[in-house]
Amino acid sequence: MNNLQTKFIQTETQKTVNEILAQPEWTTIKKSITNILDSEEHITYCEEHQGRMYHLLQSTEYPKGIYRSCDAKDYRAGVSQWELIFNVADFDEILNDDIYLEAYMHFVENPNLILLILSSQGQDIHYTLEFNISQKNIVTNGFNFPLSKSFVQWRDENSIWLNPAWEESQITSSGYSKQVYLLRRGQNFSEATLVFEGQQDDIFVEAWRYLDVHGAPLDIIKQSHSFYQFTYYVIQENLQILPLSLPKSCDVCGYLNGYLLIHLKQDWVKSKATYLSGSVLAVKLQKGQLKTILPVFTQQNHQVVESIETSKDYIFIHYLDNIYSKAHVRLFKNDALIPVAFPELDTINFELIDQPWRSNIFYIAANDLIHEPILYAWDAKREELSVLRRQKALFDTNNLSIRQYFASSKDNTQIPYFWCGTKPEQKTPTLIYCYGGFAVNELPHYMPIIGKLWLEQGFSFIIANIRGGAELGENWHQQAIQENKYKSIEDLIAVIQDVQKNKKTSPEMTAIQGASNGGLIVANAMVEVPDLLKSVLCEVPIIDMQHYTEYGSGYLWKDEYGDPDNPEMIPYLEKINILNKISDKIQYPELFITTNINDDRVNPQHALFLHQKMLDTGHTNSHLISYHTGGHESLNGQDEYIQELAYLWVFLYNAMGLDFKTFISNK
């Protein structure tokens, strides 16, 4: 962005902030959010490594977070004695930057060694540092790398797989690494061994090691030709590379007993057998060659694999069946897959939290919009489920219900959505959330801020599972990409029309919300059906569809939206490019646009173009806020996060004409 654009964003942001701060409910809403996020009732979710539990705590006292640990036995007994490992804020001075913890990777065989991925200003670009937990310091001459979009993975205690991205010669046209190096402890980068180099037009390459309790480790390279097309290779002990003859669209997702676990995204014909899309297979590897194939899970209609985890002896597949969480578990012994029953949980949704190395224990969190989270430990060998934590309620769920409905889209496809509220047969203010892209699934998990500030007030909340996600399988995603991306918009409109037709709400009571790809969808819905909406929350949106590949990480998204340089795609991209559709003759709903000046994934110009177009066509009800920390995914401190949430909720209440003080609970 140029200086004029930056100054314009700053001016418009201050104007919006001043309007919000002037509202009488600002203090009350911000205090409510603070109380929820600082509550000690939240379950402490951890990773377990060799008898220790590790946890990142964020609070008002520690806004960037502290990393801490306690004895696993004490944690299970509910008497955790936490030991501080590091304060994320301390890295600001060390690196002379505004630092946030993006990710961390223990070396599981010696978990005292941990690789820290430290984001600069909340962006995707990051530093990598090796930290010694027992000594509580950065490892001198350790695996420490400069600011870049590099990938680093443990190989063993004294070596890593490094995918560098700090020099032009190392990166693809997308800005990510195209090389794989083996770097041993004590070596300079100039001494590292180049193992593999991809193509300039690849998205990226990466390498990692699978450990197998029952055999030798396996080193894998993934060459991403596009967002959804890959070639996989095995790295042999002598560092020779063997390509695996796997389908280009499959995901490699585990390794156990010498078998590679793969998740198919398309039908695969192999040795006269046909394996259906969505299936999970165990494939025996012998010297890099594919041998025996064992079907682990075969997907049925309206099912999709959500995650796959392996323990010492078991394969645990979390899948969705009509967007309800289910489990498929197999004991993998002597080349046989033996079914194991997993108990039914009393919530719509659950997720795998952790699986400690060399054990058969799975940590599972179960919850949904109206059921507080429960943390379970499931011993697969004993088939024993135990409750470790029950979270106390952070909002009043009395009289709340959650129901799944279906709306008929323009092409008659039935679009599922979850409705949550107290009055299913009465019109109430309703907030509809969607994403609808990149095969990302939106599940009805526990959201205490929405619960406290919205549901508890007697209002309704909807999660729209529109196409572009994969909640009903990969085909659900494929139906709304490239030339069919507009179907995501039609699906959202169908949900809006359905709840209004069935008198659950009305146009003057309807708000929609979406972020990133979801921002694209809600912005288009605003233009298509402005008369059905009261307000629109459009966060860090993708907007300029005719030029999106030219900035940010847009080059990565051609598989999802289509290539603007392909003349055949231009009509379809124009169909979802609202910058050419906004009219000065139509009254649009109140619009709240957010972006981040440091967002290196979705460039802030997208939000700027939308806001500028609204103003240029006389729509002064467009409001823009640009944040200065957090990047694309709000990776920021607790204080900034509270502030951002409060801005959004104060805006929503005023845009909807609601008096927050009238509805606020005294609980």
Helix (H) / strand (E) element for 163: namely strand 159-163
CATH assignment at residue 311: 2.40.128
In a domain, 272, yes or no: no
Q: State the average pLDDT over residues 411-419.
A: 98
Q: Are residues 605 and 468 in the same domain?
A: yes
Query: How is residue 546 written in tokens?
Result: 């005719």
Cα–Cα distance, 230 to 218 (Å, whole number): 18
Residue 78: predicted pLDDT: 93
In a domain, 345, yes or no: yes
Cα–Cα distance, 82 to 129 (Å, whole number): 23
Instruction: Give this prediction's pTM.
Output: 0.96
Q: State the average pLDDT over residues 123-131.
A: 97
Res. 637: pLDDT tops 90: no
Query: For residue 287, what pLDDT band results from cuts at 50, 70 and 90?
Result: confident
In a domain, 625, yes or no: yes
Expressed as residue numbers, the domain containing 18 is 8-34+420-663
Q: Are residues 434 and 328 in the same domain?
A: no
Q: Are residues 516 and 625 in the same domain?
A: yes
CATH assignment at residue 636: 3.40.50.1820
Residue 667: predicted pLDDT: 37
**210: nearest Cα among 163, 253, 264:** 253
**594: nearest Cα among 534, 647, 650:** 647
In a domain, 540, yes or no: yes
Q: Are residues 386 and 427 in the same domain?
A: no
At 450-508, the pLDDT tens digits run 999 999 999 999 999 999 999 999 999 999 999 999 999 999 999 999 999 999 999 99
Give me the sign of the Cα torsion angle 132, 136, 139, 145: positive
Q: Are residues 431 and 368 in the same domain?
A: no
In a domain, 541, yes or no: yes
The alpha carbon of 580 is separated from its chain's Cα centroid by a whole number of angstroms, namely 30
Contact 488, 439 (CB under 8 A): no
At 510-538, the pLDDT tens digits run 999 999 999 999 999 999 999 999 999 99
At 67-88, the pLDDT tens digits run 999 999 999 999 999 999 999 9
Q: Are residues 315 and 444 in the same domain?
A: no
Residue 661: predicted pLDDT: 55
Q: Are residues 602 and 485 in the same domain?
A: yes
Q: Are residues 523 and 648 in the same domain?
A: yes
Phi, psi of 523 (to 5 degrees): -65, -40
Q: Are residues 648 and 601 in the same domain?
A: yes
Query: For residue 662, what pLDDT band results from cuts at 50, 70 and 90?
Result: very low
Beta strand ranges found along 185-335 (DSSP E)? 193-197, 204-210, 218-224, 230-235, 241-243, 251-256, 259-263, 268-270, 273-275, 280-286, 289-297, 303-310, 314-321, 324-333
Residue 288: predicted pLDDT: 73
Cα–Cα distance, 163 to 117 (Å, whole number): 14
At 336-377, the pLDDT tens digits run 999 999 999 999 999 999 999 999 999 999 999 999 999 999
* Last residue within a domain, chosen from 346, 376, 392: 392
At 90-112, the pLDDT tens digits run 999 999 999 999 999 999 999 99
Rg (CA), the chain: 25
Interaxial angle between packed helices 638-655 and 26-37, expressed in degrees from 0 to 180 and rounded to the nearest 10: 140
Q: What is the mean pLDDT of the chain?
A: 96
Torsion (CA) 275, 278, 279, 281 in degrees, nearest 10: 100
Q: Are residues 547 and 593 in the same domain?
A: yes
Q: What is the DSSP string of 472-507?
A: T-HHHHHTTSGGGTHHHHHHHHHHHHHHHHTTS--G
Query: For residue 403, what pLDDT band results from cuts at 50, 70 and 90?
Result: very high
Query: For residue 665, what pLDDT band results from cuts at 50, 70 and 90?
Result: very low
Contact 533, 496 (CB under 8 A): yes
Q: Are residues 387 and 490 in the same domain?
A: no
> Helix %, strand %, coil % for the chain, to 5?
25, 35, 40
Res. 580: pLDDT tops 80: yes
In a domain, 650, yes or no: yes
Contact 595, 609 (CB under 8 A): no
Q: How many domains does the chain have?
A: 2
Q: Are residues 388 and 435 in the same domain?
A: no
Residue 664: predicted pLDDT: 41
Secondary structure of residue 364 in the 3-state scheme: strand
In a domain, 490, yes or no: yes
Residue 666: predicted pLDDT: 37
In a domain, 351, yes or no: yes
At 141-154, the pLDDT tens digits run 999 999 999 999 99
